[in-house]
A = this chain, B = another copy of it.
Amino acid sequence: MARNCRFAVAVHVCAVLTLRREDPPATSDWIAKSVNTNPVVVRRLLSALGKAGLVQSQRGISGGSTLARDPAAITLLEISRAVDADEGPPLPQQEPNPACPVGANIRPILTDILGRAEAARERELHGITLADIAAAIRARQDL
């Protein structure tokens, strides 16, 4: 997992689009007020989500963004991959010493371990859809 807030904000953005599914497109300005950030930050995320095919945007008057698919068909894993580029496992750029038995063999082992950890995280996110998020929000509203 990257140490930034892009995923969290992207889910917030998508949640807004999900709850506003029947309404006219949401502008980056409107969404930014809900997130409490700058509209450009929202547009950057929407651009990434659009390239991943999760969202559609329209320019001009009465423009804005809408979900491209059924919320039940969009997983949080897709959102994560859309906004956070895969940078590979966090290994030091400097290669270890091949003259040491550990240095000579640890690299692929670490890559495997870090890959498995990341896969576990992704499996979790794959099991959650935007429909689940919307349901959780509605449940909290009805308290």
Contact = CB atoms under 8 A, between A and B. Distances in A.
Contacts of A106: 11-12, 15, 133, 137
A35 interface: yes
A110 B12 contact: yes
A102 B120 CA distance: 28
A33 B119 CA distance: 31
B109 A137 contact: yes
Interface string A18-55: 01000000000000011111000000000000000000
Question: For this complex, into which size category does the number of interface residues on chain A fall?
Answer: 35 or more
A76 interface: yes
Given A7-B90, A90-B4, A101-B141, A121 B113 contact: no
A12 to B, nearest CB: 5
A90 to B, nearest CB: 5
A118 B1 contact: yes
Contacts of A110: 8, 11-12
A124 interface: yes
Interface in A58-86: 76
A106 B35 CA distance: 10
Across the A-B interface, the 3 shortest Cβ-Cβ residue pairs: A34-B100, A120-B120, A105-B140
